[in-house]
Amino acid sequence: MANFQENGKKIISRETVPAKGRWSARLEQGQKLTFIDLEGKQAVDFLCYSDSLPLDRINLPNTVKLNKSLYVTKGCKIYSDHARVMMSVIEDTCGYHDTLAGCCSCEIDKVRYGVEKTESCRTNFIAELAKWALAPSEIVSNINFFMKVPFDGDGNIVIADSVSKPGDYVTLQAEMPVVVVISNCPQTDNPAAGFAPTPIEAIIWEQT
């Protein structure tokens, strides 16, 4: 059962994103977005874009540098190419959200695992971005919510078993009008989705 409580919140939309699915939405400044990991250990690949021209996009090097952390968690801000604050993390029951590993693709899975695939976070991003008239070239490095990628002193990294439990959630607040795009990771060849992808919930809300 999710720990997220609706008390004192005006729910604007609440959707279940199926296993291996994709989702996107526009948020006004001040609106909140909560992702709930319904069954645990499910990575949510996340991108966001300004809702204005010229387009400004999530920038993970800026986000890492300005937060002074390779993990995104409560209190962190998500920065853009122009170093503007796009979103803030205001609640987080998990604590580990990856900025290093990027999204899976059919091409990299063939290199890594020797498998032929037709579904990946990249294919999900391409399809979902098209709804907003955004091209595949607008795919940049993404945040992987609920995904743990530890690293050692020599810079070695690994996609590890997630610590996300059923009902864990993260809440973001839009600090400017944004379009957010997610892929509910379909990966089955590493622990990003617990080797068995599951649904998540996406809730847009306002404080009453």
Cα 87 from Cα 161, distance rounded (Å): 27
Cα 94 from Cα 168, distance rounded (Å): 6
In a domain, 4, yes or no: no
The closest of 124, 135, 115, 87 to 190, measured between CA atoms, is 115
Cα 7 from Cα 9, distance rounded (Å): 6
**Residue span of the structural domain in which 177 resides:** 9-207
For 35, how many CA atoms within 13 A lie in the half-sphere containing its CB?
Answer: 33
In a domain, 2, yes or no: no
Token pair recorded at residue 13? 């939309």
Q: What percent of the chain has pLDDT over 70?
A: 99
Q: How many CB atoms lie within 10 A of CB 147?
A: 29
Contact (CB, 8 A) for 19 and 169? no
Which pTM does this prediction carry?
A: 0.95
- Above 90 in pLDDT, residue 5? no
Q: Give the model's confidence band at 208: pLDDT under 50 very low, under 70 low, under 90 confident, else very high.
A: confident
In a domain, 99, yes or no: yes
In a domain, 119, yes or no: yes
In a domain, 1, yes or no: no
Mean per-residue pLDDT of the chain: 96
Q: Looking at residue 1, what is its pLDDT?
A: 45
pLDDT in tens, 15-64: 999 999 999 999 999 999 999 999 999 999 999 999 998 899 999 999 99
In a domain, 128, yes or no: yes
pLDDT in tens, 92-144: 999 989 999 999 999 999 999 999 999 999 999 999 999 999 999 999 999 99
- Above 60 in pLDDT, residue 2? no
pLDDT in tens, 145-194: 999 999 898 989 999 999 999 999 999 999 999 999 999 999 999 999 99
Contact (CB, 8 A) for 191 and 104? no
Residues facing residue 173 across a β-bridge: 32, 88
How many domains is the chain partitioned into structurally?
A: 1
In a domain, 120, yes or no: yes
- Above 60 in pLDDT, residue 86? yes
Block residue for tokens 């729910």: 11
In a domain, 17, yes or no: yes
